[in-house]
Homo-oligomer: A and B are copies of this chain.
Amino acid sequence: MDGSTFDEASQRARETICELCRLFWRLGWASGTGGGISVREGDRIFMAPSGVEKERLVPADIFELDRAGCVRREPESAGKKLTACAPLFMAAYKHRDAGAVLHSHSLDVVLASALVPPGEPLRLTRLEMMKGLEGVGYFDVHEVPVIDNTALEHELEARLEQAVIDWPKSNAVIVRNHGVYIWGRSPAHAKTQAECLDYLCRAVVRMHAAGIDHLLHDRSQPDAAANA
């Protein structure tokens, strides 16, 4: 059960998942068995199991799937269930060639989602941390799609896949009153994307709660040369 039978790339992917799960749990993004982590190594996709304490995972608990989403290797440890997030993770692998897809229950993302009217995206602008998101600049109005939640996670599949297709500039889909799916080129990149979006949602919620408008006093101009 120590994962010694895994090849090197598989072992690395499994350990990365366990490490990210411990981090997510410490950050409150995966408490109460919530959240999920998936990592791709070439054409092999690794996923944390469902319904277990995420901070206690070991490499032998991880599922291995192919790019069609079929389980290729069950966990060595007994009694594990494939996460209901699996088809949702696959949407980002299929349409964006992601290297890792993370699912967080960050309360700041959940509260930010509650502020967004139906059919509209979360809009972010003029916060430096936006520059940490892939391809986004300080003066952009960056849009992250928000979809409504469903009773069962797998029922989200169609609308999440549609959001992935409809919002090609976003590497995240927020699920209202639920959390976020977010991805990157690699596990490290996906993690930094999750950190940035969490920070930005926390900023949005704290500003809303405190009656702070960060645009009110901002006189900065996109043409920085004229402004220096």
Interface residues of A (CB under 8 A from B): 28, 31-34, 53, 105, 107, 110-111, 114-118, 126-129, 132, 137-139, 148-152, 155, 158-159, 175-179, 188, 191-193, 195-196, 198-199, 202-203, 205-214, 216-220, 222, 224-225, 227-228
Does A228 lie within 8 Å of B128, measured CB to CB?
no
Contact pick for A193, options B32, B177, B212, CB 8 Å: B32
Does A116 lie within 8 Å of B32, measured CB to CB?
no
Which residues on B sit within 8 Å (CB–CB) of A206? 107, 111, 205, 209
Contact pick for A32, options B195, B211, B222, CB 8 Å: B195
Does A219 lie within 8 Å of B118, measured CB to CB?
yes
Which residues on B sit within 8 Å (CB–CB) of A138? 149-151, 177
Which residues on B sit within 8 Å (CB–CB) of A218? 114, 148-149, 176-177
